[in-house]
Chain A
């Protein structure tokens, strides 16, 4: 059974084993931060997470206690505004790319959405500042919503497109064969079939927007008081985390962790849902 050149053979074998171990090791190292962050957020966040966190307003500088009720509402309003600006564009563009997407213009748009997803969020914040804050002469929730809306476009567009493409061709053909015009086939047959996937894709885009901080720093700015006015600065969870993390008060640091925990929890749940909904479909498609 020995190979004629057995020394070389063992050398190759051991090299194989070493490299396999290195690959396993890199998986381990890459995954460690996730568990570190999650466990730390859990241990620090749970302590500060109580009913007050969800229902009370922030206390004045230096005082302990209080909560982030205004930031929770603020983030919800910002996400709502972002969805209002970003999602219609994304959904229609997604439909266009999926249904009429083989011409050069559509290919360019697809390419640009990919490029758009790589543009730093802080740059989008600067653009929202120039286009909204400067003309209105006022930091506002509206400006923050514009920034988040732009940031939602790449994810929402591409998932809408993917989900529509997953609808079997036979559905369209069957409907077209019945004499239904194409646009009605798209709206009445294709979209409802893909609805579950599109909805979770949109949730994914929303989750991403909810975690954004940089584009809010000089658009929505932040607010320690209760405000639901979209024409004025508004609080958000992420900007609160940023301010509280830098602050020298231990209670604030703990509250930052509590907010981070809420955020991570929200995002994980949405990712799990997305994973669950798309599981079967991608499986038949890929490997």
Chain B
């Protein structure tokens, strides 16, 4: 690239040097020059205005939701977050049940997805030969491209019946003494939601973890291998170098799980209850918005649902913001080395 640019400058110098008196056709005269500058400035400003629209969009979204939820914020204040009652008939709304459902289903999903994702990422960046790595990456990407609603459909017709007839009875039989595996096996419930979410966040955590691991300099691996470390011992060193990047990937996965709506709504059972058992139906913030928003009758009802959306917005913006900064700074750190 640099050689080409020096080449062109030489060319330009030769040309202008040779024909000082009469500039060749097409080269800008004074007036044209000013025009070009004007065009440049205008073009930059136009594109910048569009970029500003994107910038503004995030704040407009936050502001509109804040305005929409003002009724509920004024009426309930902070108790909105700690109240477990959600009763449209008495017009009293508290979000704790949904916050609980979102937290439990997302954390369960992370618990299931994280080891698998890191395993796949290690495979892709450290172990796989190139001919195998490309198709596997592609398949993982496809997993991310499948719409949420299709996961939900699969959850209803395949996963839930399977959980109800095989997995949950087996868990009760063997691990029934734990409070997590108590109660009748409905199939629909936290466990189903956690599994579907896990499948959905695997592609995200995997692809970002893979990028993080790849950004770690080859020299680290070579040094470890030269000292006689095995492949796995080398990988452990690479993993500890990429620790914070992997944390970022995890947070991004968590952000996705927290906001996931359709698939969860279809398999979680949609009952506003707090239960220690993973077999029990639950309800998440996103699901209650999906189910009740179009039918919300009173203004306070709508306002409370909008406050839930605002809450989701704040949580996901924070998770994504922090995660992106972490991932950026780690991949950048290793790139400049």
The interface of chain A, by Cβ under 8 A from chain B, is 12-13, 15-16, 19-20, 22-27, 29-31, 33-34, 36-37, 40-41, 44, 88-89, 92-93, 95-97, 99-100, 105-106, 108-109, 111-127, 129-131, 139, 150, 153, 157, 168-170, 173-174, 177-179, 181-184, 186-187, 207-208, 210-214, 217-218, 221, 238, 241-242, 245-246, 253, 256-257, 260, 263-264, 267-268, 271, 275, 286-287
Closest chain-A Cβ to B218's Cβ sits at a distance in Å of 10
Give the complex CA separation of A246 and B188 in angstroms.
13
Tell me if A238 and B149 are in contact (CB < 8 A).
yes
* A183: B residues at CB distance < 8 A: 39-40, 42-44
B214 within 8 A of A: yes
Closest chain-B Cβ to A152's Cβ sits at a distance in Å of 12
B84 within 8 A of A: no
Interface SS majority for chain A? helix
Tell me if A41 and B150 are in contact (CB < 8 A).
yes
Tell me if A123 and B309 are in contact (CB < 8 A).
yes
Do A268 and B145 form a contact, CB below 8 Å, given A118-B252, A118-B255? yes
A–B complex contacts, Cβ < 8 Å, 26 sampled: A16-B231, A24-B123, A30-B119, A33-B199, A34-B146, A44-B157, A93-B50, A105-B55, A117-B320, A118-B317, A120-B258, A121-B259, A127-B61, A130-B67, A130-B306, A170-B5, A178-B26, A182-B36, A183-B39, A208-B145, A211-B146, A241-B149, A242-B149, A264-B146, A264-B150, A287-B214
Give the complex CA separation of A163 and B55 in angstroms.
21
Tell me if B65 and A126 are in contact (CB < 8 A).
yes
Do A115 and B58 form a contact, CB below 8 Å, given A36-B158, A37-B151, A127-B65? yes
Interface SS majority for chain B? helix
Closest chain-B Cβ to A284's Cβ sits at a distance in Å of 13
* A238: B residues at CB distance < 8 A: 147, 149
Do A170 and B46 form a contact, CB below 8 Å, given A16-B232, A30-B116, A105-B51? no
B286 within 8 A of A: yes
B146-173 interface code vs A (CB 8 A; 1 in, 0 out): 1111111110111000000000000000
Give the complex CA separation of A153 and B60 in angstroms.
15
Do A27 and B51 form a contact, CB below 8 Å, given A36-B158, A179-B27, A257-B153? no
Do A213 and B147 form a contact, CB below 8 Å, given A30-B202, A93-B54? yes
* A287: B residues at CB distance < 8 A: 214
In the A-B complex, the 7 residue pairs with the closest CB atoms: A120-B259, A211-B147, A26-B119, A183-B43, A181-B36, A118-B320, A92-B50
Do A108 and B55 form a contact, CB below 8 Å, given A122-B290, A214-B262? yes
Tell me if B230 and A217 are in contact (CB < 8 A).
no
Among A36, A121, A170, A182, point to the contact of B154 (Cβ < 8 A). A36
Closest chain-A Cβ to B269's Cβ sits at a distance in Å of 13
Residue count of chain B within 8 Å CB distance of chain A: 97
Closest residue of chain B to A222 (Cβ to Cβ) is: B294
Closest residue of chain B to A32 (Cβ to Cβ) is: B199
Tell me if B316 and A31 are in contact (CB < 8 A).
no
Closest residue of chain A to B116 (Cβ to Cβ) is: A26
Closest chain-B Cβ to A185's Cβ sits at a distance in Å of 10
* A257: B residues at CB distance < 8 A: 153, 157
Closest chain-A Cβ to B152's Cβ sits at a distance in Å of 7
Tell me if B147 and A271 are in contact (CB < 8 A).
no
* B103: A residues at CB distance < 8 A: none
* A41: B residues at CB distance < 8 A: 150, 154
B12 within 8 A of A: yes
Tell me if A31 and B294 are in contact (CB < 8 A).
no
Tell me if B141 and A271 are in contact (CB < 8 A).
yes
